[in-house]
Amino acid sequence: MNPSDEFLKHAAECNKMAKFTRDPESKATWSRMTARWIDCAERFKSQSQAAHRSSPRRHRHIAEDWAA
For the stretch 25-60, pLDDT in tens is 999 999 999 999 999 999 999 998 888 888 655 555
CB atoms under 10 Å from CB of 7, counted, come to 20
**CB under 8 Å to 4, separation ≥6 — which residues?**
41, 44, 45, 48
Could you give the 3-state DSSP secondary structure of residue 49? helix
* pTM assigned to the model: 0.73
DSSP state of 21: -
d(CA 14, CA 31): 7
